[in-house]
Amino acid sequence: MKRKVLSALLIAAMTVATVGCGGGSQPTADADASAETEAPAEDAAADDAEAPTEDTAADGTADAASGDLITVGYAQVGAESDWRTANTESFKSTFTEENGYKLIFDDAQQKQENQIKAIRSFIQQEVDYIVVAPVVETGWETVLEEAKEAGIPVILSDRMMDVSDDTLFEAWVGGNFVKEGETCGDWLAKYLEEQGRGEEEINMVTIQGTIGASAQVGRTEGMANKLAEHSNWKMLEMQSGEFTQAKGQEVMESFLKSYDDIDVVICENDNEAFGAIDAIKAAGKTCGPEGDIIVVSFDSVKAAFESMIAGDLNATFECNPLHGPRVAEIIQKLEAGETVDKIQYVDEAYFDTSMDLESILAERAY
C-alpha cells in the first residue's frame, strides 16, 4: 500500500516539477517534489489514472490508521528442513509491524507453480517488495517481467534464479554453495589423510538436494571439483533426497542394497543425513568417527550438532539461514535510494567432531 502513497507523492512532484518521465529508479521513500525525482513513465501514467485509495488522503499522504508500513511479500520454498524453518523464522522475526513492515508470507510446499502464483498475488496486492527463495533456478523470467512491469522490486534470498536479465531482481543474498562443496571435499581429504587412508580407494555416494536448486547445483559442483583432484575417490551414485529426512533415508536404503562397500555418504543437507544415519543403523552398519561409513552434510542446524555429539555425523558444512536482517538491510537501502550489491554471500564455516561442539551449540542461533 505504501507504494500508492509514494506514487501519489510522485505525481504531485511531477505535476509541480514537470520533469521528463524516462525510465528510472523506483520511487524512493522520501520521494520529494524536486525536479530530479524520476519514475518510470509507465508508473506515473498508471498512477495518474488512479484516484488516491481509501487509505490515502487527497494529498496522497497515508492516514495514521493505515500507518506507513512497508509491505513485503515473501514466497518461501516450503518447510522441508530444519534449515528452512530457521530461515522462515528469521524473516518472520525481522519483518514485523514494530519494525515497520507488513509481511505477507507464502509457503509453496516446494512447488514452483505455487511460488509463481504467490508472486502474482503479491503483484495484485501491490506490495512494496517481493522476496523469493526460488525452489529451482529456472522458469522465472515471465513472472519477474510482470513484477518489473508493476514496478515492484524483487529480492532473491537463499537460492538463485537463472535469468538472462539481472535487472529483473535487485539483489540476492545467500550461501556460496560451490565453496561449501569444495570446503567439504577439502575437509574429507584432510580427514582421510589423518586416518591413514589418503591413498586408499574410497567409495562415495551422494544424497543430493532438490535437483535444480542452487544449493544442490553448487554443492554437487564443488564436490565434483574435489573428486577431480583425487583419482582414488570413486562416486558410486548420486540420487536426490529432496532435502528431506524421509527421502534421505529411502535413498540411503537403496544405496546400501546396491553397494556393500560404501566408505562415505555426502548428504546435501543435514536432514538427509539424519535419514541416512537411520538407514545405516537399520542395515546393521555403523557410522560417524568410530563407524564403517563417514557421514558429512550441509546446513549446520542444531540437530546436526546433536548428531555429531552422539557420534553419528562426522561433519556439517554451514549454510547460514538467517537472511531476514540482510534482506531488511537491502530494503532499507533501496528505500533510501541507495544502490545495493547484486550478490551478497553470507559468512559460513564448518563443524566436526574434533571441536568443542557442546560449547558451540550453546551459542548457536539456529
Instruction: List residues binding ligand GZL (CB under 6 A).
Output: 80-81, 83-84, 158-159, 174-175, 213, 215, 243, 269, 298-299, 319
Name which of 55 and 352 has its Cβ closer to ligand GZL.
352
3-class SS letters over the chain? CHHHHHHHHHHHHHHHHCCCCCCCCCCCCCCCCCCCCCCCHHHHHHHHCCCCCCCECCCCCECCCCCCCEEEEEEECCCCCHHHHHHHHHHHHHCCHHHCEEEEEEECCCCHHHHHHHHHHHHHCCCCEEEECCCCCCCCHHHHHHHHHCCCCEEEECCCCCCCCHHHCCEEEECCHHHHHHHHHHHHHHHHHHCCCCCCCEEEEEEECCCCCHHHHHHHHHHHHHHCCCCCEEEEEEEECCCCHHHHHHHHHHHHHHCCCCCEEEECCHHHHHHHHHHHHHCCCCECCCCCEEEEEEECCHHHHHHHHCCCCCEEEECCCCCHHHHHHHHHHHHCCCCCCCEEECCCCEEECCCCHHHHHHHCCC
Task: Supply the minimum distance, in Å, between the C-beta of residue 283 and ligand GZL.
Answer: 24
Name which of 91 and 243 has its Cβ closer to ligand GZL.
243
Name which of 174 and 181 has its Cβ closer to ligand GZL.
174
Task: Supply the minimum distance, in Å, between the C-beta of residue 313 and ligand GZL.
Answer: 14
Task: Supply the minimum distance, in Å, between the C-beta of residue 114 and ligand GZL.
Answer: 15
Task: Supply the minimum distance, in Å, between the C-beta of residue 308 and ligand GZL.
Answer: 17
Name which of 163 and 273 has its Cβ closer to ligand GZL.
273
Name which of 56 and 244 has its Cβ closer to ligand GZL.
244
Name which of 2 and 84 has its Cβ closer to ligand GZL.
84
Task: Supply the minimum distance, in Å, between the C-beta of residue 175 and ligand GZL.
Answer: 5
Task: Supply the minimum distance, in Å, between the C-beta of residue 164 and ligand GZL.
Answer: 22
